[in-house]
Amino acid sequence: MAMRCMNCDKGVQYGHKVSHAKNRTNRVFKPNLHSVRVKVGTTFRRMKLCTKCQRIVKSATATV
């Protein structure tokens, strides 16, 4: 499965590691994904969500 949030579609980004000598090497920035049970309608679904989306879902269910 891809490293992608199922809610906001946040995914892998590419950049550089930069040493003190300014040498640049390729690196990958991965999203902070967690597998979470989310209530969708009357059923629960397991989704991979980033932590920002987790907080949004958690606050939305707490107010209901």
Residue ranges of domains in the chain:
13-63
Q: pLDDT digit string (tens) for 6-63?
A: 999 999 999 999 999 999 999 999 999 999 999 888 999 999 999 999 999 988 887 7
For 26-53, the DSSP string reads EEEE---EEEEEEEETTEEEEEEEEHHH
pLDDT at residue 60 in the model: 85
Q: In the 8-state DSSP scheme, what is residue 29? A: E
What is the pTM for the complete model shown?
0.77
